[in-house]
Amino acid sequence: MIDLLLAFADERPLARRLAAAAGLPLRLVERHAFPDGETRLRLPPALPPRVALLRGLQRPNERLAELLIAAPAARELGAQRLLLVCPYLGYMRQDMAFRPGEAVSQRHVGAALAQWFDAVLTVDPHLHRVASMDEVVPGRRSVALSAAPLLGALAARRARRPILLGPDAEAEPWVRAAAQAQQLEHATCRKQRRGDRQVSVALPPLDYAGRDVVLVDDVASTGRTLVATARALYARGAAAVDVAVTHALFVGDAGPVLARAGIRRVWSSDTVPHPSNAVSVAPLLAAALRDL
């Protein structure tokens, strides 16, 4: 059982929802950024034995540095068991070395988390060639939840007889999970990536004419894959294209680019704070905290 939820102020909305759902007291980490780029953290001066720390790893470089400082500080202040609640777990894409000398970021970040925390709880991590979170965070209890069923239920309510479509083969587990509970038609595309912002997409052979299509994925970053898929769908007669993603990173000009491509609506979970947040993972996280 967890005694306290500790969170950073910039994730206060999700922290409040999670604390309420789990019946936990909430305390905040004070954060001060110095002009030279360093950060000072101030935790509550006395912590109970079992603490859950909420911190997502969007903008992962600065936030990993914060965890490097916050985890041992929490133990010095009384936390004997420290659990990381990481709604978005960054650095999961690089799970193998594609060229000699490349660092396998997933392996090294996971090993660091295993040193700092006794358990890790996350949502829809991007595990492509890895079977489970146990391989990512070695020797620690780790749990991966999914927001896909929540997004599938939302799509079923807000779109008219939708087809759920994954923009690439890697999205197939999310599309299937989102579609199954609602018994929605679903499929995945075939993607070819030529660069970080250059992609082409081949649609599966379905009848899209006059249909609403919801693109479902775990994470949206630049939005270029979603744009390429939406344009292909409109060329095949789709009535409307919406997007449902767990993690709404949407870096740079992704929002305007999606709008120009004719994407009607974007829905996301609140794992990453964004104006598109439409469903909350707080109940999922709270249930998992009780189990842990």
Query: Within 10 A of 71 (CB to CB), how many other CB atoms are there?
Result: 22
Residue listed under structure tokens 């600065």: 62
- How far apart are the C-alpha atoms of 199 and 156, rounded to whole Å? 28
CB 199 within 8 A of CB 221: no
* Active-site residue, 224 included: no
User: Of the candidates 102, 84, 83, which has an alpha carbon nearest to the alpha carbon of residue 93?
Assistant: 102
> Helix/strand/coil (H, E, C) string of the chain?
CCCEEEEEHHHHHHHHHHHHHHCCCEEEEEEEECCCCCEEEECCCCCCCEEEEECCCCCHHHHHHHHHHHHHHHHHCCCCEEEEEECCCCCCCCCCCCCCCCCCHHHHHHHHHHHHCCEEEEECCCCCCCCCHHHHCCCCEEEEECCHHHHHHHHHHHCCCCEEEECCHHHHHHHHHHHHCCCCEEEECEEEEEECCEEEEECCCCCCCCCEEEEEEEEECCCHHHHHHHHHHHHCCCCEEEEEEEEECCCCCHHHHHHHCCEEEEEEECCCCCCCEEECCHHHHHHHHHHC
Residue listed under structure tokens 């104006």: 275
Choice among 63, 191, 224, 274 that is catalytic = 191
User: In the structure encoding, which two tokens stand for residue 157, read together?
Assistant: 């309510």
Q: Which residues are catalytic?
A: 191
